[in-house]
């Protein structure tokens, strides 16, 4: 006979919400920084300077081609080992390690999103801007990027959601985000099903909220385009 007690989840909800807040903090900061990094990498990939283009391509290939979990472990455990015994001592901080790993990983994916968005703009837009006397940088800033940004909002939203779900991976470095808190509570109460279902529901609420926000932004941009 099933012996389920979802009251355990309710009684431990404050602890789970503490982990939820940390999850949101980690994700929001990483996506914010990753967006700027991704835009920079996208512009480097589209640059006529081969050193920049090849360097950005190598970066994107590495971070998209290796598991995020491995990247987290390298940053949290590998970097302190490299600097051990040097004049620069580094004590790993799980939160900073998580932000760094997620920012670097997200930047690689966002770079491809922005590159595809920029390349989807008709080349005539750039030619028209240049014919009006704009420099390449001015044309990119005032003509190409505003149009590309509208097109990349849906995939950027998907990246936000993917990173939010992947945030559970930082539990391996003992960062007390939602998954780690759920694991601790489940182990203490010995109620794994109820606690993990509660954590799954919280993740679902967060991802659905982001999805609705992205859909709202898409509608707003479509309305602004018609006007």
Percent of the chain, pLDDT > 90? 67
User: Contact 103/206 with Cβ under 8 angstroms?
Assistant: no
pLDDT tops 60 at residue 227: no
As a whole number of angstroms, the distance between CA 165 and CA 103 comes to: 15
pLDDT tops 70 at residue 1: no
As a whole number of angstroms, the distance between CA 13 and CA 199 comes to: 9
- Give the number of other Cβ atoms within 10 Å of residue 73's Cβ: 16
Residue 134 has phi, psi (to 5 degrees) of -75, 150
Phi-psi region of 19 (alpha: psi -120 to 50; beta: other; left: phi over 0): alpha
Q: For the segment 126-174, what is each residue's pLDDT rounded down to a tens digit?
A: 888 888 888 888 888 889 998 898 889 989 999 999 999 999 999 999 9
For the chain, report the end-to-end CA distance as a whole number of angstroms. 62
Q: How large is the average pLDDT for residues 44-72?
A: 95
What pTM, to 2 d.p., does this model score?
0.91
- Map out the domains of the chain with their CATH numbers: 7-226 (1.10.3720.10)
């Amino acid at each position: 006979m099933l012996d389920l007690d979802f009251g355990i989840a309710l009684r431990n909800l404050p602890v789970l919400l503490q982990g939820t807040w940390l999850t949101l903090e980690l994700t929001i900061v990483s996506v914010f920084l990753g967006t700027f990094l991704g835009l920079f990498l996208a512009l480097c990939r589209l640059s006529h300077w081969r050193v920049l283009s090849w360097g950005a391509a190598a970066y994107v290939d590495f971070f998209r081609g290796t598991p995020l979990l491995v990247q987290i472990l390298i940053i949290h455990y590998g970097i302190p080992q490299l600097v051990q015994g040097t004049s620069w001592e580094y004590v790993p901080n799980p939160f900073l390690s998580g932000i760094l790993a997620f920012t670097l990983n997200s930047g690689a994916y966002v770079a491809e999103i922005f590159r595809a968005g920029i390349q989807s703009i008709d080349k005539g837009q750039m030619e028209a801007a240049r014919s009006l006397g704009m420099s390449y940088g001015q044309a990119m800033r005032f003509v190409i990027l505003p149009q590309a940004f509208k097109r990349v909002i849906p995939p950027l939203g998907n990246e936000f959601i993917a990173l939010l779900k992947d945030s559970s991976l930082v539990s391996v470095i003992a960062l007390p985000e939602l998954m780690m808190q759920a694991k601790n509570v489940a182990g203490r109460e010995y109620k794994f099903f109820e606690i993990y279902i509660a954590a799954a529901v919280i993740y679902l609420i967060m991802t659905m909220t982001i999805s609705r926000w992205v859909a709202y932004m898409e509608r707003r941009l479509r309305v602004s385009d018609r006007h």
